[in-house]
Amino acid sequence: MLITFAFVVAGVGQVISQRAPGKIKPLVNGLYTADPSAHVFNGKIYIYPSHDVEADVPQDDEGGHFQMRDYHVYSMDKIGGKVTDHGVVLDVKDVPWADKQMWAPDAAYKNGTYFFYFPAKDKEGVFRIGVATSKSPAGPFKPEAKPIEGSYSIDPAVFTDTDGKTYMYFGGIWGGQLQRWHTGTYDKTLMTDLGKGQENEPALSAKIALMKDNMLSFAAPLRDVQILDENGKPLLAGDTNRRFFEGAWLHKYNGKYYFSYSTGDTHLLCYAEGTSPYGPFTYKGVIMNPVEGWTTHHSIVEFKGKWYLYYHDSEVSGKTHLRNVKVRELLRDSNGNIKTINP
């Protein structure tokens, strides 16, 4: 059974109240929000989305029309309940190294501090990943003066395992610039994937980094997140319905690690299973079929014994760069396989 919501807008510090159930509606209507990373802190769900704005930039394959400049944080006491907007928690003008395009963020908690991770282009136009801190999950967050050393590309997603170790997953091709680092150094000439004629090569991989205990830097060299097919072979670059594009997320269920992601230009949310946070992960299926709008980006969170999928679409604006966040229940079969959602 799917859960349906509709909300009306409120200002900073106010709540957004539920209307009568109907078609699943956005959690926030006063702002355009996307890329929702949801976490449970102190018994509440906190949502860390990007904040879409209209910048009148032509659409292109590198995402130049996504010109986000700041972040809001939202919280919910319960699914279907009130949503609180905690206002702007970080602005690009307050980040010394960042120039523009504050894309999909994530958050984590360790040792009394909340950590907010975000990608942005630096002054040279290269995506890096920054970190900011707060004593409250609702921010505001104070950024570090420099991006995380060794970081690049987009879409940081942070997972802390039951043993206390924390990992960051990140990367995105095309506008996310992951392909530009394929040789180990930045190559601006690589625009989308590996290039024509390389469809039968292994697909580009998301990256994983073990985090230091201070959560501000990487503790080990980056490793590839390998996704295998049913025969144990790496997914190929030409397998666009299954290969990784962007939007990595990791969650753990019944001892298994579920790596989920967007296929980008084929507009699917997919997942793969593994027995270690490092993988390898075996492709299992589709979480969600295409939504309205070009992009798909999500998070998966457990709350009071049920699992939920946070995602976005373009229902309100009809424009792919002006999106709205939604939530619905995530269902599984008896073997733990995720049931595909038709939005």
How many Å separate Cα 224 from the centre of its chain? 18
306-313 β-sheet, strand order: 299-303, 306-313, 324-329
Task: Please identify which of the residues 85, 155, 246, 273 carries the catalytic annotation.
Answer: 246
How far is it, in rounded angstroms, from Cα 247 to Cα 119? 12
CB-CB neighbours of 179 under 10 Å: 22
Task: Please identify which of the residues 35, 52, 273, 313 carries the catalytic annotation.
Answer: 35
Sequence-ordered list of residues with C-beta below 8 angstroms from that of 32, at least 6 positions apart, any chain: 51, 52, 53, 316, 317, 322, 323, 324
How many Å separate Cα 43 from the centre of its chain? 22
Q: Catalytic: 313? A: no
Q: Which amino acid makes up residue 224?
A: D
- Is residue 36 a contact partner of residue 28, using CB atoms and an 8 Å limit? no
What is the helix (H) or strand (E) element at residue 98, kind and residue range?
A: strand 98-100
Phi, psi of 292 (to 5 degrees): -70, 125
How far is it, in rounded angstroms, from Cα 44 to Cα 268? 29
How far is it, in rounded angstroms, from Cα 207 to Cα 153? 10
Q: What angle do CA 1, 20, 38 make, to 5 degrees?
A: 60
3-class DSSP state for residue 75? strand
Token pair listed for 153: 């590309």
How far is it, in rounded angstroms, from Cα 17 to Cα 6? 8
Radius of gyration for the alpha carbons in the chain, expressed in angstroms and rounded? 19
How far is it, in rounded angstroms, from Cα 244 to Cα 202? 11
CB-CB neighbours of 54 under 10 Å: 12
Q: Catalytic: 35? A: yes
Catalytic residues: 35, 246
